[in-house]
Structure 1
């Protein structure tokens, strides 16, 4: 087994005291035989990662989430990378799971970046085999929505637009069920449509999203492009009903 938990070790060695088990796990960690990636959860460092002393999250994330008994999916920049649409390798590993948030400090593993939903949109996930299990990650359309909805986690709307520029060739909102829209806000979809059409000039993709959004929501109401911008509103976009209160500047690809 490539992973183990504190509870499993206690169960395997019932005659050992809690402190003895803690001391032994600490010793193995100091020797770089195992690494603690979450409170009470350890990964046995495989030989091909031994020189780095760091095990990438894709190696253990499926087992970690099973240990927590929580559904999850790899999201945002990490999902985009799996979809072939990350212009640079993300420094964090983005995981979305359900509320409530765990009490463990995020400093325990600074490679993991968590976001939370009330419910996981399971019908819109893809799977991929890994060294230790099955990875679950968002499909292209859910990834696009998440990039806008959770833009504060990835550096803002300009970063979201940069990734969307590469992801856009995989987007086809005509093929996805409208139930996908149940997992986000109408405002997020308006912002996504605006970015696709006006910033990235992806008219065909934007048109498909617009048709499905109008059928789903009916009349659109004006929303700010950014809820965090302090800039004055410069103009309005009548089609997507966007108050343009910031300038989106994607990186050159």
Structure 2
């Protein structure tokens, strides 16, 4: 049939620290925390749509996330995912509370330059040395009102 197709992303390594319990009308349900959601939408960028869409969600979620909620999740994600998150928090979302924690964690890792948007052959616009990101598309978010 035609219509909506749902693609489920899954992983065998699921960080329990990123799961929160929410009360609904029929009981409690376990859902992804805002911190885990931020990391997942970058990890599964190709399934979400465009990275610009992910950046908008990260921009909105950033106020709900604390460093204490974000840091324990870092070991569950690749350095590539963390590089992209750090860049988006720092350069796109203008989030000054969270990106230093990402930067601090990445200092213990050997980083290679990676494209901001994977599987995209657009020209490199700039090279960001702090996050080791080759910016291959301009990403902007609408400022909050």
TM-score tier after normalising by the smaller chain length: 0.7 to 0.9
1:249 matches 2:109: no
Matching residue of 2:8:
114
Matching residue of 1:147:
41
Matching residue of 1:24:
none
- 1:48-59 equivalence runs, <5 A: none
1:167 matches 2:58: no
Structure 1 position 120, deviation (Å): 1.9
Matching residue of 2:79:
186
Larger radius of gyration: 1
Matching residue of 1:210:
103
Structure 1 residue runs of 5 or longer lacking an equivalent are: 1-106
Distance 1:177 1:252 in 2: 23
Distance 2:69 2:142 in 1: 28
Structure 2 residue runs of 5 or longer lacking an equivalent are: none
Contact conserved, 2:89 with 2:99, CA < 8 A, in 1? yes
1:223 matches 2:114: yes
TM-score, scaled to structure 2: 0.85
What SS class does the counterpart of residue 204 from structure 1 fall into?
coil
- 1:96-111 equivalence runs, <5 A: 110=4
TM-score, scaled to structure 1: 0.51
Distance 1:191 1:137 in 2: 23
Structure 1 position 252, deviation (Å): 5.0
What SS class does the counterpart of residue 137 from structure 1 fall into?
strand
Greater than 3 Å deviation, 4+ residue runs: 109-113, 176-179
| 1:103-133 Cα shifts (integer Å, max 9, x gaps) | xxxx7x9475411112222222001122334
Structure 1 position 239, deviation (Å): 0.6
Structure 1 position 163, deviation (Å): 1.2
Query: When the two structures are aligned, how many residues end up with a matched partner?
Result: 143
Contact conserved, 1:172 with 1:208, CA < 8 A, in 2? no
